[in-house]
Structure 1
Amino acid sequence: MTSGLLLIDKAQGWTSHDAVARTRRLAGTRKVGHAGTLDPMATGLLVLGINSSTRLLTYIVGLDKEYLATIRLGQSTTTDDAEGDELTRATPEQVAAITPAAVTTGIADLTGDISQQPSAVSAIKVDGKRAYARVRAGEDVQLPSRPVTVSEFELRSSTHRDGFLDLDVRVECASGTYIRALARDLGFSLGVGGHLTALRRTRIGPFRLENAATLEELDVAAHLISPADAATRLLPRLDLSTEQAIDLGHGKRITVLSAVQAGATGPVAAIAPNGRLVGLVEYRGDQARSLLNFPPDEPEPSESTPAS
C-alpha cells in the first residue's frame, strides 16, 4: 500500500474528521491521520498522513502557521466566532469612532510574544474532557492564559458594513495560537467587542495551500507527497549508501562523517540511494542510530506534488 502525505483544501462546514473519513474511502485504507484540526467554520490547509506516513505528522503539528481571517469589530460572541450567540454589541456610533491609528496600535499590541487566553470553545482538555464539550454541557469554562507567538499580524483592508468594522488580516503564528482569541482581544482593547467571521489556513510549515486539492477533486495517487519528499521538507537529510540503508533497516548503527552531522540536533531523514525513506535517525558521536524505520514494502509514489 502507498504511503505519503496529502494536502487538502478543507471546505467550510466539513470537520477534520469528515475529511479523514472521506480520504480513507478514497485511499482504500483505514490508516489516515491529520496534523492539526480546523474548525468546521474554517477553510484551508489540512495535512493528512496515509499509512506509515502518519508517523511524520508529529513533526508537523507544532510548526508555525499562516492564516487569512476576517475580524468583525462591534460584536462579541460566546464562541469568539460567527457560530456563537451574541454577547455584546456596540452602537454604530462607537464603531464609527474607531480610528485607523487605534486599530494599528491594537494589532501591534497583539504581535510578538504575548499571553493569550484560549477560547473556551476549544479542543484543549480540562480534566480529561475537551473544553468545548464542557461548555456545551453548560459548564462555565475559564482556560488559563498561556504564552504564544504572533510573528506577523498584518491588516490588509478594512470595511464598514452594517454598523460593524470588518478587518481582513493575515496572521503568521506559532502552533497553539487561537486566531479567534486575537479577534476577541482586539475588539476588547478597542472597547467594542470582536469576533472572527472567516478563517482560512494558508500554510503549515513548508506546506502551502496552493499545492492542496479539494476533497471533490482529490486524486490520491496524483496528489500524494512521498515519505522521502515529506521528511526532507521537514528535517535535515542524510544520504545513505546501499549497505548503510540495509544496516539501518536491520536496526544497526552506522558510522557517518562529522561534516554530515554538523549542526543537526534533532531527527534526520535517512534516504536510500533509490530515494526511499529508510527511516528517521539521530546522531550519537560519529554514529547514527535509528529512531523510526519505514517499511520497505510500501511503494513510493511515482511522482509527488511540486515543492512548495
Structure 2
Amino acid sequence: MNAPRTRVQRRPVHGVLLLDKPLALSSNQALQKAKWLLRAEKAGHTGTLDPLATGVLPLCFGAATKFSALHLDADKSYEATLLLGVSTTTGDAEGEVSARCDVPPITPALLEAVRQRFLGRIRQVPPMHSALKKDGKALYEYARAGVEVERAPREVTIHALNLALTQTQQAQAAIEIKVKCSKGTYIRTLGEDIARALGCGGHLTRLRRTATGPFSEAQCLTLAQLEAMDEAQRLRALLPPEVLLAAHVPVTLADEHAGRFLCGARLRGRWPDAAQVAVFAERPRVLLGSAHVQAGELVPDRLLSPIEVQQILQNLPPASAGGPSETP
C-alpha cells in the first residue's frame, strides 16, 4: 500500500531563480520541481527550452511573474553540436533518421562562406516539431499525426556566429556552433540550414543555452544544488524581481508619492520621456512596478500589489534601506 503523499504548504515567494535546466526535463517540469522545492504559490518562466536542451532558464516567482514577458524578447546565446550526414524528422536526436548522405570535403573557406551567409537578418521556416500554432493547434500535434502544414518564413537576426569543424567519438564529421540570436530563432532549423549549405544533411545532437538577456550560465544553479540547500538558502538564491527590469530607467519616489503610485495614480514631475521605467519606493528601497514617462507624467504600467510589497519588505536585509529619492 502506498503511503499518503505529504501536502506541501505553499507560501508567497517573490524573485527570480536562474536555473541550469537539465537534459530530458521540459521547461514546465523543471519549473514545477523548483516551485515545489521553494514551496512557492505562483511561478512561471521566461520562455521554454526543449527537453533535449540544457542551460539558462530564468524562473519567476510571485511578483516577478508580472515582468516575465519582458524577457521573451531578449536575445539568446547557444552552443550546439551539428552532426553532418544524418537528417532526422525533428532536426535533433529525438527524431527518427530520415536520410543519410556522404559529407563532402569541408574547407575553412567553405565554412567561412557559410558562416557569413547566416549572419545578420535571415529567414527561417519554423520546424513542424514546435509549439507554434496553426488554427489553434500546435504544429508538433500535426507532426505527430504525420501531417505537414505550410509555414510562412519568419525573419530573425543572427548577431554572432562561430562554426568549427570537429569529429564525434565515432569519427563522424560535425560542426560546433556558437550563436547569439534574436528571439524566435530555431537553432535546430539553423543547424539544418547550415548542413544543407555545406552540401549535406544534419541534425543537432547537443543544444545548450548559455545566456538569455543579461543572464549567463555562470549565474545559474542546478536542481541538484537547489535540492541540497535548506529552505533559507533556497530563498537567498533568488534574485529580486527588479533584475527583470535592468534595462529600465530607475525612478525612486518618496513615501507620500510611492503610495499614490502604488494605487495607480499618475504623477507629474521633471522626468525626461522614457518608454520603460522601473519605479521604487525610497525607504526602504523596494520595487513598486513598471511605468513610462510621457510629457513629464509618470504613468503606471504593471504594479505590484501592496501585499506583495509588504511581503518583499519582510525579507529585505536591513542594509536595503536608504538611498536618495526623486520627488515629482
Aligned partners of 2:68 and 2:244 also within 8 Å: no
- Structure 2 counterpart of 1:17, from 18, 28, 31: 28
Q: 1:1-308 to 2 correspondence within 5 Å? A: 1-91=12-102, 95=103, 97-156=105-164, 158-159=166-167, 162=170, 164-218=172-226, 219-228=233-242, 230-258=243-271, 261-262=272-273, 264=274, 266-273=275-282, 274-295=284-305, 296-300=309-313, 301-302=315-316
| C-alpha displacement of 1:200 | 0.6
Q: For the residues of structure 2 that align with 1:160 and 1:12, how far apart are their CA atoms?
A: 19
| Aligned alpha-carbon RMSD (Å) | 1.7
Query: What per-residue deviation string (whole Å, max 9, x for no partner) do you get for residues 170-199 of structure 1?
Result: 100000001101110011112210111111
Structure 1: 5+ residue runs without aligned partners? 304-308
| C-alpha displacement of 1:156 | 4.5
Structure 2: 5+ residue runs without aligned partners? 1-11, 227-232, 318-328
| C-alpha displacement of 1:203 | 0.8
Query: What per-residue deviation string (whole Å, max 9, x for no partner) do you get for residues 208-247 of structure 1?
Result: 111110112125312111123x144142211222222111
Letter of the structure 1 residue corresponding to residue 136 of structure 2: G
Q: Secondary structure at the match of 1:2?
A: coil
Aligned partners of 1:7 and 1:211 also within 8 Å: yes
Q: For the residues of structure 1 that align with 2:168 and 2:110, how far apart are their CA atoms?
A: 15
- Tell me the TM-score normalized by structure 2: 0.85
Q: For the residues of structure 1 that align with 2:76 and 2:269, how far apart are their CA atoms?
A: 34
Q: Secondary structure at the match of 1:203?
A: strand
Segments ≥4 residues shifted beyond 6 Å: none
Between 1 and 2, higher relative CO (CA 8 Å, sep ≥ 6) is seen in 1
Aligned partners of 1:59 and 1:234 also within 8 Å: no
Q: Secondary structure at the match of 1:152?
A: strand
- Name the larger-Rg structure: 2
Aligned partners of 2:88 and 2:96 also within 8 Å: yes
Q: Percent identity?
A: 34
